Amino acid sequence: MPKFNDLRGYIELLKKSDELVEISAPVNTHLEITEITDRISKAPGNQNKALLFTNVHGPNGEKYDMPVLINAMGSHNRMMLALGVERYEEIQKRIEFFIKPDIPSNFWEKIQMLPKLAELNKFLPRDHKGPAPCQEVVITDPSQPMLDAVPVITCWPDDGGPFMTYPCVFVKDPATGERNVGMYRMQKYDNTTTGMHWHKHHDGNRIYENARRLGKDRVEVAAAFGCAPHIIYSATAPLPPGIDEMILAGFLHSDPVKMVKCKTIDNEVPATAELVVEGYVLLDELRWEGPFGDHTGYYSLADDFPVLHVTAITHRKNPIYQTTIVGKPPQEDCYLGKATERIFLPLLKLFISEIVDMNLPWEGVFHNCVILSIDKRYPGHAKKVMSSVWGFGQMMFSKYVIVVDKHVNVHDLSQVAWHVFNNTDPKRDMMFADGPMDILDHATPLWAYGSKVGVDATKKWPTEGFDRDWPDEIEMDSDTRAKVDARWQEYFGKTPVMAR
């Protein structure tokens, strides 16, 4: 798979792969780009493309110099192009290679581990040598167009304003000095201020609170737009606190991310980003932010959030502004979420080894429902897995955990539903729990706190108190299936009837 180290290289790959449509007709940042993108993201088959708008206007008639790229990773094919693989399993195998707990017992085994350690070193971010592309143009004068020069889109009719939706937000934890990179929406208030949507469960909020406890007055922030896509993906990945997302980005492409020091703050950003917003968040200032049409398909409600004050805008010559929309699935974020489901499955199996496969269906917006198949080994095993999931990182938000036997294809929702509706007794097989819920869950009786349910759709055993006979599933025998497969064309000739 071709490699690239910046967004422009990825765009060229999209062109060669027939995955990009350039639109030169005039378009408006106010709602119009969203409506076009929403239709394209839901279009069937190869009609779903990345879009590059080259003639962008604002709601007051202003003409922007920056083209707008959107839906760049909004399909499984583009997501794998972005990560440089043909199948997610390639990344799974590499992860399994590095997390396998081989402990050397002698000198020769230690020698054999050296290549693995050497490869690990390739993932660490490096300092960029020479002038950085993202700093070809530097603007620090607030009387000049800063955010006003960026074609920030208003996504949905009831949004609180235009939102910058695809930033890699870089901050340092004042308690540890460790870098954290996340993706947080930024509502544009004016030329030099935005909102900073750090809600309670975000690492950004944890760092914000750490700064407060240490008596700091501000947190410095750099928001990089138009990074290489594997960097963008890494900013969305659910890594544990203290793990640098830029190491994950280096791992994904087996190539270290080149970083450069910002011009006005003590942060580093990817040197090949298209545009960087530098600034700071004061710890004693909040401002009304939202509403915002969110990935749940509903508007998240307005509330008070920190404010980012811009100290500099730096960008490449002729920069490309990359953004995204979220809303009713499928949208671009669905494919990033599916990549996470596949990539992090080996890590989940490391801690909950009985899991065979996992599906986070789009309709569950990646935190409302998780479907798991397990290798069931003892009574109550499914309920043990439910409890383990609710104690595992961001999976604690899972409102519904559905557990099926290992032979069930969790990605076939019809097959899963068939097993749930047929294999369960609601009173016996549903387990309820209370605990933290996603901030965006509007149905919980309390803010960020509510109930969860696990559904045990596995075959029930006598040792689980099931004394009746459990019937076998209907399946044709293999000899008959093979016979019919071999004679299929004889039956139907050239008639286009699908064989199973």
Domain range list for the chain: 81-322, 352-464
The CATH fold of domain 352-464: UbiD C-terminal domain-like (3.40.1670)
Report the alpha-carbon distance of residue 28 to residue 184 in Å, rounded.
23
Rounded mean pLDDT, 350-363: 94
Single pTM value for the model: 0.91
pLDDT value at position 264? Answer: 98
- Cα torsion 307, 312, 318, 324 to 10°: value is -20
| CA contacts within 13 A on the Cβ side of 334 | 21
- Using 50, 70 and 90 to split pLDDT, how confident is the model at 113? very low
The DSSP secondary-structure symbol of 29 reads T
Q: Which of 380, 384, 406, 385 is nearest to 463 (CA)?
A: 380
In terms of residues, how long is the chain? 500
91-95, 140-144, 411-415: lowest mean pLDDT where?
91-95
Place of tokens 């309709």: 363
Distance CA 258, CA 6 (A): 10
CA distance 457 to 426: 10
Residue 280: pLDDT over 70: yes
Q: What single letter denotes the amino acid at residue 319?
A: P
- State which fold the 81-322 domain adopts: Pnp Oxidase; Chain A (2.30.110)
Mean pLDDT in the chain? Answer: 92
DSSP string for 250-304: HHHHTSPPEEEE-SSSS-EEETT-SEEEEEEEEEEEEEEE--EE-TTSSEEPPEE
CB 223 within 8 A of CB 331: no
Residue 232 scores a pLDDT above 60 = yes
Q: What is the pLDDT of residue 114?
A: 46
Contact between 293 and 156 under an 8 Å Cβ cutoff? The reply is: yes
C-alpha triplet 116, 122, 126: angle, nearest 5°? 155
Cis peptide before 145 (omega within 30 of 0): no
Q: Is the dihedral of CA 159, 163, 168, 169 positive or negative?
A: negative
| Per-residue pLDDT reduced to its tens digit, 58-68 | 999 999 999 99
> Can you list the positions of beta strands (E) in 375-415?
400-405
Express as a percent the part of the chain with pLDDT over 70: 94
CA trace torsion 159, 298, 236, 14 (10° rounding): -80
Contact status, residue 424 vs residue 416, Cβ threshold 8 Å: no
Distance from C-alpha of 120 to C-alpha of 426, rounded to nearest angstrom: 48
Query: What distance in Å separates the CA atoms of residue 182 and residue 166, rounded to the nearest whole number?
Result: 10
Range 89-115 average pLDDT: 64
Distance CA 356, CA 406 (A): 6
The torsion angle over the Cα atoms of residues 36, 41, 43 and 49, rounded to 10 degrees, is 90
Phi, psi dihedrals of residue 60, rounded to the nearest 5°: -105, 15
Average pLDDT over every residue of 463-473: 94
Q: Is the pLDDT of residue 119 over 90?
A: no
* Contacts by 249-253, CB closer than 8 A, 24 or more apart: 250/122, 250/123, 250/124, 250/125, 251/94, 251/123, 252/83, 252/84, 252/91, 253/3, 253/5, 253/83, 253/84, 253/228
Higher pLDDT, 498 or 261: 261
Read off the pLDDT of residues 127-151 as tens digits, 9 standing for 90 and up. Answer: 999 999 999 999 999 999 999 999 9
Task: Quote the DSSP letter at residue 442.
Answer: T
Tell me: cis bond preceding 330? Omega within 30 of 0 counts: yes
| Catalytic residue check, 294 | yes
pLDDT at 115: 55
* Residue in 244, 255, 294, 456 annotated catalytic: 294
Alpha-carbon separation of residue 458 from 255, 374, 390, 392, 461 (angstroms): 43, 9, 19, 22, 9
Cβ neighbour number for residue 444 with a 10 Å cutoff: 15
Average pLDDT over residues 239-262: 92
What three-state secondary structure class fits 4?
coil
pLDDT in tens, 151-181: 999 999 999 999 999 999 999 999 999 999 9
**CA torsion angle 163 125 350 345 (round to 10):** 40
HSE at residue 77, side-chain half, CA atoms within 13 A, is 12
**Closest to 157 measured CA to CA, from 349, 292, 2, 338:** 292
CB 271 within 8 Å of CB 259 = yes
Count of alpha carbons within 13 Å of 416, Cβ hemisphere only?
Answer: 21
Name the H helices within 145-270. 203-213, 229-236, 245-253
Residue 111 in this model has a pLDDT that exceeds 60: no
Q: Confidence band (pLDDT; 50, 70, 90) for 498? A: low
